[in-house]
């Protein structure tokens, strides 16, 4: 299956291609701010839908995937850090604690709009100040929600839920939906 990925995330593209999907990247040119007027899951799904719809005019006959991932700790959204100082702050707060990673996803076909949110609970081990500094100075925190990548940080003690969701796209659910797409459909939410 050939997909349009409405995201510039190399990690999402890699996840899709590892599952055998041919993926063309065409990031949506929209604001990525999350609405505070909606419950978080609904706001993430709406943002993913807006991204997919923004790309749709260029690819009316293709399946488009869009997603947005956030880290939630103690009721606060930790998005991509603005700088190394904020990245250090995020990681210090997550040290030895459990947080949630939420990804809102939209799969847009010529006949269907499917949106959902996947949530994974992630527990960090206690982090040393020096390893936090080394990780943030390496640049690996810069474009990641919560200032870390599960695949390259070594900070995660345990997870409950989808590992790939923490990377940026819950592939178990995405595969399930893509493999069950009908030829014709209607608008739906799962």
Count of C-beta atoms within a 10 Å radius of residue 133: 14
> pLDDT value at position 124?
98
How high is the mean pLDDT of the chain? 92
Question: Of 79, 69, 64, 60, which is closest to residue 24 (Cα–Cα)?
Answer: 64
Q: Give the model confidence (pLDDT) of 40-84 as tens digits.
A: 999 999 999 999 999 999 999 999 999 999 999 999 999 889 999
> pLDDT value at position 33?
84
Instruction: Please give the Cα distance from 160 to 82 (Å, whole number).
Output: 28
> pLDDT value at position 143?
86
Helix (H) / strand (E) element for 90: namely: helix 84-94
Q: Give the model confidence (pLDDT) of 1-50 as tens digits.
A: 789 999 988 999 999 999 999 999 999 988 888 888 899 999 999 999 99
> pLDDT value at position 185?
44
Exactly one of 24, 68, 83, 89 is catalytic; name it: 68
Strand 2-5, strand 22-25: pairing: parallel
pLDDT band for position 181 (50/70/90)? confident
> pLDDT value at position 174?
97
> pLDDT value at position 190?
46
Instruction: Please give the Cα distance from 149 to 164 (Å, whole number).
Output: 11
Give the global pTM. Answer: 0.90
> pLDDT value at position 188?
44
Q: Is 158 exposed, middle or buried (0-12, 13-18, 19+ CB in 10 A)?
A: exposed
83 carries an active-site annotation: no
Q: Which is more confidently placed, 182 or 100? A: 100
């Amino acid at each position: 299956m050939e997909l349009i990925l409405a995201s510039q995330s190399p990690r999402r593209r890699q996840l899709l291609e590892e599952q055998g999907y041919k993926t063309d990247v065409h990031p949506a040119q929209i604001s990525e701010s999350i609405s505070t007027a909606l419950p978080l899951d609904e706001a993430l799904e709406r943002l993913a839908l807006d991204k997919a719809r923004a790309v749709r005019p260029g690819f009316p006959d293709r399946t488009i995937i869009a997603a947005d991932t956030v880290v939630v700790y103690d009721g606060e959204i930790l998005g991509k850090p603005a700088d190394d100082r904020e990245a250090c702050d995020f990681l210090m707060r997550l040290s030895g604690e459990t947080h949630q990673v939420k990804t809102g996803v939209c799969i847009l076909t010529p006949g269907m709009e499917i949106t959902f949110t996947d949530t994974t609970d992630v527990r960090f081990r206690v982090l040393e100040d020096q390893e936090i500094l080394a990780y943030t100075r390496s640049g690996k925190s810069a474009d990641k929600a919560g200032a870390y990548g599960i695949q390259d940080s070594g900070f995660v003690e345990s997870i409950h839920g989808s590992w790939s969701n923490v990377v940026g796209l819950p592939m178990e659910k995405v595969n399930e939906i893509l493999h069950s797409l009908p030829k014709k459909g209607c608008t739906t939410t799962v």
